[in-house]
Amino acid sequence: MPSVTRIEKIFKILKKANPNPTTELQYQSPFELLIAVILSAQATDKGVNLATAKLFPVANTAEEIFDLGEAGLKEYIKTIGLYNAKAKNIIKTCEILLKKHCGEVPNNRQALEALPGVGRKTANVLLNTLFGENTVAVDTHIFRVAHRLGLSKGKTPEKVEQDLMHIIPMKYLKDAHHWLVLHGRYICQAKKPKCEICPLTQLCEYYQSYFLSETKAKA
Q: Which residues are catalytic?
A: 121, 139
Selection from 21, 13, 45 nearest residue 128 by Cα: 21
The answer to whether the beta carbons of residues 145 and 188 sit under 8 Å apart is: yes
Whole-angstrom Cα distance, residue 212 to residue 201? 10
d(CA 187, CA 29): 30
153 close to 147: Cβ distance less than 8 angstroms: yes
User: CA-CA distances (angstroms) from residue 99 to 63, 66, 172?
Assistant: 10, 12, 37
